Amino acid sequence: MSTLKDRLRTDLTTAIKARDDVRSSTLRMILTAVTNAEVAGKVAKELTDDEILTVLSSEAKKRREAAVAFEDGNRPESAAKERAEAAVIADYLPAQLGPEEIATIVTAVVDELGLAGAGPKAMGQVMGKVTPQVKGKADGAAVAAEVRRQLGA
């Protein structure tokens, strides 16, 4: 079993004992999402830590998007709940890259491929090289925006 999954289960037990409702419900939701990912497809399999991080990133993104939607819908209580869940999930994700770090990585890839000013048609090539480097550490939309900016798209 993966160490991250063990940590999630241990933290769930601790949260239940501490009667931390937000943390325990969020960890239950995460473990359910992990289990669903494990049984998806034709053959059930044990997820690696990297695969669990992908599930966590997806769940965090859902929470951020839901919080924005609730804010737009004038439902601040629901938005606050989603943000609290996102904060719990963030405890298990690697530190997020800042805009400067993303720009540095994108610049290095654009220079390596010699695509400076190549326009939008080179976007796929650059994203293909950048994505593995920032996986789980940066929001894909922020990375895509930086790639567009540097390519002059």
Q: DSSP characters for 18-64?
A: TT-HHHHHHHHHHHHHHHHHHH-SSS--PPPHHHHHHHHHHHHHHHH
pLDDT per residue as tens digits for the range 2-36: 788 999 999 999 999 999 999 999 999 999 999 99
37-56: pLDDT as tens digits: 999 878 888 888 888 888 88
Question: In this model, does residue 74 exceed pLDDT 90?
Answer: yes
3 and 49 Cβ atoms separated by less than 8 Å: yes
| pLDDT (0 to 100) of residue 153 | 60
Task: Report all structural domains of the chain as residue ranges with CATH numbers, in order of start.
Answer: 3-90 (1.10.1510.10), 99-151 (1.10.10.410)
User: Minimum mean pLDDT among 15-29, 64-78, 111-125: which range?
Assistant: 111-125
Q: Report the chain's terminal Cα–Cα distance, integer Å.
A: 44
